[in-house]
Amino acid sequence: MLKRPSILVLGAGYGGLSTVVNLQKEFGADAADITLINKNDYHYESTWLHEAAAGTMKPEDVRYDIKDVIDSVKVKFVQATVEAIDVEGKSVKTDNGVFTYDYLVIGLGFEGETFGIEGLDKYALSIANVKAARYIREHIEFQFATWSTEEVKNDDRLTIIVGGAGFTGIEFLGELGNRVPELCKEFDVPREKVRVLCVEAAPMVLPGFDPELVNYAVGQLESKGIEFSIGTPVVEATPEGVNIKKGDDEFEFIKAGTVVWAAGVRGNRLIEATPIESMRARVKVDKDLRAPGYSDVFIVGDCALMINEAVNRPYPPTAQIAMQQGVQAAKNIKALVDGTDTHTFVPDLKGTVCSLGHDDAIGDVFGGKKVTGKKASFMKKMIDNRALYMIGGAGLVLKKGKFNVL
């Protein structure tokens, strides 16, 4: 009898979980040994982390138990932190044992990128995972609580700086626009004492996105008291705030009690400790999602890099693509096991919707259709619900879905 193939999937984010639920469909109960390894016994919706970080959503609502969406007859789940990947020896070292494989899927996700800017690692907070998001929420609440009780008021602690006006920065600002008035009420802080400032290096907010939609977003956020400093990169962070560059030799130091760094992502550092070639821990994968030179290693999600040949630039790392890659990786592993050809992964991009709080959004969808306001917000919630459906079906949508659609 032929040995059953052993398939090891690392990470239960969008890419890893999508791979696993699709491997379950591809293989019968006794046809393969499928193991999923993840740091936590839950998955978190990275696309909702800005809500948990601002405090407009509870951290526990952003996550769900992995055992609720996998078939335990077909898949063994191991809660463990991956420490090293040996692609030559075909094994993975974790804090809960060593695992070998015939096929490996790496879906270990993203980390915040600080580009080596001094002080950011130490003094800025990053919306990187659900624990980090909860920490940001509590840090902001702590600043408000401290201000309301201290005798000599330090107004700087009420300044929140958001570094980066990409999609993460803008979505977080959208939540803060709604959350700050609530915090002021809760902690008896006058609204005019609170400053929320977004600092962006590029000459525009959401660089590259539709200018009309960007104008709408900036107008809506400014109407909630959010300020923008554009074309002024953050060059340093200290315990007191950030230094921004305003001209050739012109700098300004802005004091702040909270600095949230949302200025880009990289892949998981563990990739850089393997011989697989990568750029900022992202691997330029072959067309069928395999790592170049390693025919038994697939990479999905933010650790994978693919060039959009139409514009000769990498596709942005998104949940949308990560989930689609999971479907293709599962099919291609089945093809290898069956001795047939693997297929090229072709992303099916449905557009981008960026939320501006629970009741507002902007979107460029279905090949150039622009949407704003409640209609766009409704679409964003449907996209969020669809992601749940793709992993856990209708049951998961009913349990965790967003139904506050007006």
- The residues binding ligand NAD (CB under 6 A) are 117, 163-169, 171, 199-202, 207, 233-234, 262-265, 316-318, 352-354
Of residues 276, 285, 236, 221, the one with CA closest to residue 119? 236
Binding status of residue 127 toward ligand FAD by CB under 6 A: yes
Per the annotation, the verdict on 26 as an active-site residue is no
Binding status of residue 325 toward ligand FAD by CB under 6 A: no
Of residues 152, 121, 126, the one with CA closest to residue 139? 126
Binding-site member from 27, 64, 110, 147 for ligand FAD (CB under 6 A): 110
Residue 232 CA neighbour count, 13 Å, CB half: 20
Of residues 191 through 220, those in contact with ligand FAD by CB under 6 A are: none
Binding status of residue 76 toward ligand FAD by CB under 6 A: no
Q: Which of 26, 51, 113, 171 is catalytic?
A: 171
In whole angstroms, how close is the CB of 23 to ligand NAD at the nearest point?
25
Of residues 19, 64, 58, 17, the one with CA closest to residue 44? 64
Q: Give the residues across from 42 on adjacent strands.
A: 65
Q: Which of ligand FAD, ligand NAD, none sits in contact with 15, Cβ below 5 to 8 A by type?
A: ligand FAD
Binding status of residue 59 toward ligand FAD by CB under 6 A: no
Q: Which of ligand FAD, ligand NAD, none sits in contact with 99, Cβ below 5 to 8 A by type?
A: none
In whole angstroms, how close is the CB of 192 to ligand FAD at the nearest point?
28
Q: Which of ligand NAD, ligand FAD, none sits in contact with 49, Cβ below 5 to 8 A by type?
A: ligand FAD
Closer Cβ to ligand NAD, 59 or 169, answer by number? 169
Closer Cβ to ligand NAD, 34 or 197, answer by number? 197
Binding status of residue 372 toward ligand FAD by CB under 6 A: no
Instruction: Report yes or no: 392 and 69 within 8 Å, Cβ to Cβ.
Output: yes
In whole angstroms, how close is the CB of 124 to ligand FAD at the nearest point?
15
- Residue 253's H or E segment, with its range, is strand 250-255
- Non-local (6+) Cβ contacts of 274 within 8 A are 85, 86, 87
Size of the site for ligand FAD (CB under 6 A): 33
Of residues 286 through 305, those in contact with ligand FAD by CB under 6 A are: 301-302
Tokens 């001795």 found at? 339
Tokens 């996550």 found at? 63
Reduced to 3 states, what is the DSSP secondary structure of residue 201? coil
d(CA 198, CA 179): 16
Of residues 192, 172, 337, the one with CA closest to residue 262? 172
Q: Which of ligand NAD, ligand FAD, none sits in contact with 81, Cβ below 5 to 8 A by type?
A: ligand FAD
Of residues 89, 130, 82, the one with CA closest to residue 106? 82
Instruction: Give catalytic residue positions.
Output: 171
